[in-house]
Chain A
Amino acid sequence: MKKLSLIFLLIFSPLFMGSAKAENMSSNSYYLQFGNFNMGSGEFDRGNQFGLTYTLGGTAIGPFGEYGTSQYFIGSGFQYIYQIRQFSFSLSKLIIDFGELTAGIFANDNHTLTINTGSAGGYQIYVFENRPLTHSNNSSEQISNTTCNSGCSKSLAGIWDNPSNDGFGYNVLGDNVASDFINSSYFRPFADNSSGEDMEIIMSSPDVAFAETATITYQAVPSVAQAAGDYQTYVIFVAVPGY
């Protein structure tokens, strides 16, 4: 019987270690139980700055009530969607490679973006660049943000199919994308963070999203006067859940 207990202990010891680790909030393996979050209590303010006691576990009454209770579902059928509480965001690739840019010839590249809101709340996706496309060896040499064939702005796409109009811009097609991207010929310039411009919404929905996808196409063409070579920028997508 002693042997059996020892073998039992050996088999399950990794499990016990795992659960001890889960108590540590800074551990990578900690798994959060959603809804009400009770872990214990203790003295938090060691410097006694506020004279406070650290009490853990005060999740307020959310849209679905506290986890495991049903006070908000009497007479309602929405409890069937309350447990999905994860928001995910994906980009199919992280590097856009136009190669060496040449005047008069469009360079294009694209990737997809996917969003899952989990619960019934919505989302917004914004985009901005940290600066215009800048020559990798000469920061004063920049490809300006596109003005399209006959005008477009960071919030209103326009047709851009004439490569003699130099610039850098993007098109978005897919689920719940901004309505000014009528087709693949419509482009916008990026909001430029270095000029203090606000990021722009490219996708949004007030409703639940399951694997909503959009394709982002980048287009760049330098002017004749611009030096050939590699131009670089950073583009940042911001995924914001609704409440």
Chain B
Amino acid sequence: MIKKILLTLLLLSLGCLKAHSVLAQSTDALSINISPPVSYLYVKPGAGISAPIYLENQGRYTLRVTPQLVDFWPNQETGQVILKQSSSFKHLSIAGDYHAWGKEFIIRPGESYTLPLTIAIPADFPQEEYYLSVLFNVEQMLIPDLENNANTILSGVVASHLIVSVNLDGSDRSKIIVKDFKLPKIVDSLMGINFQVWAKNIGLNAGPIRGKLMISHWPSPKEDIYEFYPDMVLAGSQRQARGMSEENLLNLKTLSEQEELMLANDQDFFELQSKFLEKNLLADFSYKKAFLLGAYDFRLELGEEAQVERVIALPFSIIIIIIALPVFYRFLIFLIKSIAIKK
């Protein structure tokens, strides 16, 4: 009995050791994983915080990695960033050493490295939100002969963003409002109703978009519902809200519940999920039915705000066809008669 227990424990411990030491390897020359790609941090004036960034070398070669700190600006539309050349933020260091930026380190294939970043804020530092990007310049360690003979040597830079909110009490001071709600007043019955929502953060730190949009049309009070994705809006910034219909959210839930089963069957769950999101997580919404008629009320709830807009759908294209048909018919008769007279 004791032998059996020991054997089981031995096998278990070996399994654990293997899981700790082996990383998934890629066949690419350079393959680097970075996490987290974005960190949202708050720190009190006069306090410090750690913000480690984890890097994994999944490529074939040993990599020389050089970290650099720059500031960034939000692009105000999609959550993409505009990198600056340098940073004016002087309180982010590598393990307390402010001169360690630009000092390289090595990651061998299959190994990982954690950059121990620390933020230390002076007591009189302004309470604002700061946008920083740590750029990792990643290049293969080349032997000089190979380097001299190559025409073009490629390298990569991978970024990880730090959004640092300096505030005294650590409370969430974001406030998301509706910046713009674009939808038409009148539409044709045969066309869909296209709409877009822009959210703005008038608060002091980044916050997620929260809310939904409900479409009602008599007699149905909830004809369709779209849930907004919790994208972050930086302080003083704006971005287009993305969302998914309630029906697709249920499909996403069903898909996610099958994760373990799919992974067990060697199916790529993450690929399927990504494709699903790419197709169904929308920024440009479109409400479509076979035939729209009458008043459609769009109730937008975003943060603490709510607003209702009405869209009227009328069969303009059908009316035009009905008006145009007799005219076209008379023209056709006239044309036939003219040809007959000429003959």
Contacts and interface: CB of A to CB of B under 8 A. Distances in A.
Interface of A: 4, 7-8, 11-12, 14-15, 18, 25-32, 34, 37, 39, 44-45, 49-64, 72, 75-78, 80-81, 84-99, 101, 109, 111, 114, 117-124, 133, 136, 204, 206-211, 218, 220, 230-243
A98 B17 contact: no
Contact of A241 (B6, B20, B137, B160): B160
B49 A32 contact: no
Interface of B: 2, 6, 9-10, 13, 16-17, 20, 26-43, 46-52, 54, 58-59, 61, 74, 77-81, 83, 95-96, 111-114, 116, 118, 120-123, 133, 135, 137, 139-140, 146, 148-161, 163, 165, 170, 172, 205-208, 210, 212, 227, 229-232, 234, 242, 244, 249-250, 252-253, 255-256, 270-271, 273-275, 277-278, 281, 283
Given A94-B61, A236-B156, A53 B78 contact: no
14 contacts: A25-B50, A25-B116, A31-B54, A51-B123, A52-B48, A80-B255, A87-B34, A88-B33, A90-B26, A117-B37, A122-B78, A232-B150, A239-B158, A242-B81
Contact of A111 (B96, B137, B154): B154
B150 A60 contact: no
A94 B153 contact: yes
Q: Which of B2, B78, B137 has the most chain A CB atoms closer than 10 A to its own CB? A: B78
Contacts of A57: 49-50
A88 B37 CA distance: 9
Q: Which of B83, B150, B227 has the most chain A CB atoms closer than 10 A to its own CB? A: B150
A114 B34 CA distance: 14
A62 B41 CA distance: 8
Given A50-B120, A124-B80, A118 B114 contact: no
Nearest to B43: A58
A15 B16 contact: yes
Interface class of chain B by DSSP: mixed
Contacts of A241: 37-38, 159-161
B150 to A, nearest CB: 4
Contacts of B54: 30-32
A32 B41 CA distance: 15
A34 to B, nearest CB: 6
B50 A120 contact: no
A45 B48 contact: yes
A94 B79 contact: no
B121 A50 contact: yes
Nearest to A101: B151
Q: Which of A32, A37, A91, A209 has the most chain B CB atoms closer than 10 A to its own CB? A: A91
Those 4 A-B pairs whose CB atoms lie nearest each other, nearest first: A210-B274, A77-B249, A80-B256, A96-B152
